[in-house]
């Protein structure tokens, strides 16, 4: 069922992939080049602060916009490799969440990119399970406001509605949902660390909730807009698939 759901979106870009350009550049070479480019852009984007979130300047960066893009453009195996390399880059330059979470911070982009890619290219069931577990973790251990779970409920509702074929949003609507799913997987990993490692106090969650809403909205709108643009350029860019 999920494969057919993804086909309408992925097929549009696959049509531009095909064989090597003039028999010179192979699809594998293009994929490697794309992965390397995305890793570089993602690491660079993490040097651009957007919001402080908990209090550290630059804690939330433009990387939240690029993360769903990486998930959409790379299939799971390539996404995993890219996620590991991107995490190493963040660690080397001490960017974004790394100074606050330390080595745990490596999991934040990795889980977001890999689970997001699984959602894009395999099944939304994988990230859905993770998001539900994240919501349960928050309820059991955070002591924070229930309003924090609004995007959790929204994304799970959208996944359920899509799986049940309750509505059809078209290619752009589907891409928006996939971007939402990817950024929520990143958020879930960050939240687990905030609860278990940083011991963020319950009242603090209410204060940062509006900022979280804004951050995720920026991530979804920004990443989906980039992917919409890439869909228009799928032929010239010869992308492997979204």
Per-residue confidence (pLDDT) for residue 7, from 0 to 100: 54
pLDDT tens digits, 168-223: 888 899 999 999 999 999 999 999 999 999 999 999 999 999 989 999 999 999 99
Please enumerate in sequence order all residues whose Cβ is within 8 A of that of 187, keeping only pairs 6 or more positions apart, or say none.
Answer: 134, 151, 212, 216
pLDDT tens digits, 47-82: 988 765 544 444 678 999 999 999 999 999 999 999
The verdict on residue 63 lying in a domain is: yes
pLDDT beyond 80 at 144: yes
The verdict on residue 128 lying in a domain is: yes
Per-residue confidence (pLDDT) for residue 170, from 0 to 100: 87
- 238 vs 82 pLDDT, higher one: 82
Q: How many domains does the chain have?
A: 1
CA 210 to chain centre: 20
Q: Measured between alpha carbons, how far is 133 from 76 in angstroms, rounded to an integer?
A: 21
Per-residue confidence (pLDDT) for residue 58, from 0 to 100: 47
Mean pLDDT, to the nearest integer, of 141-147? 97
Which structural domain, as residue segments, surrounds residue 185?
2-237
227 three-class SS: helix
Pair 60, 46: CB distance under 8 Å: no
49 three-class SS: strand
Per-residue confidence (pLDDT) for residue 231, from 0 to 100: 82
What are the structure tokens assigned to 127, written together? 């990230």
The verdict on residue 242 lying in a domain is: no
Taking all residues of the chain, what is their mean pLDDT, rounded to a whole number?
A: 86
The verdict on residue 74 lying in a domain is: yes
The verdict on residue 89 lying in a domain is: yes
The verdict on residue 112 lying in a domain is: yes
Please enumerate in sequence order all residues whose Cβ is within 8 A of that of 90, keeping only pairs 6 or more positions apart, or say none.
Answer: 43, 46, 96, 97, 98, 105, 106, 109
Q: pTM of the prediction?
A: 0.85
The verdict on residue 44 lying in a domain is: yes
What are the structure tokens assigned to 132, written together? 């539900």
Task: With CA atoms as reference, report the closest residue to 52 among 216, 241, 208.
Answer: 208
């Amino acid at each position: 069922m999920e494969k057919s759901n993804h086909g309408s979106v992925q097929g549009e870009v696959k049509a531009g992939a095909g064989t090597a350009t003039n028999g010179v550049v192979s699809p594998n070479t293009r994929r490697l080049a794309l992965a390397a480019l995305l890793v570089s852009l993602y690491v660079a984007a993490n040097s651009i602060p957007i919001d402080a979130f908990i209090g550290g300047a630059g804690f939330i960066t433009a990387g939240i916009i690029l993360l769903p893009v990486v998930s959409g453009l790379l299939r799971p195996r390539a996404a995993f490799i890219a996620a590991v390399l991107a995490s190493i880059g963040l660690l080397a330059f001490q960017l974004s969440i790394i100074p606050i979470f330390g080595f745990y911070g490596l999991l934040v982009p990795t889980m977001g990119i890999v689970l997001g890619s699984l959602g894009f290219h395999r099944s939304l069931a994988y990230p859905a399970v993770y998001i539900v577990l994240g919501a349960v973790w928050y309820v059991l251990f955070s002591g924070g406001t229930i309003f924090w779970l609004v995007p959790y409920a929204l994304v799970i509702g959208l996944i359920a509605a899509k799986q049940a074929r309750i509505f059809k949003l078209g290619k752009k609507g589907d891409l928006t949902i996939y971007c939402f799913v990817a950024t929520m997987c990143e958020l879930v990993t960050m939240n687990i660390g905030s609860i278990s490692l940083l011991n963020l106090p319950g009242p603090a969650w209410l204060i940062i909730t509006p900022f979280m809403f804004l951050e995720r909205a920026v991530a979804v709108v920004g990443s989906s807009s980039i992917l919409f643009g890439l869909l228009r350029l799928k032929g010239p860019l010869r992308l492997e698939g979204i």
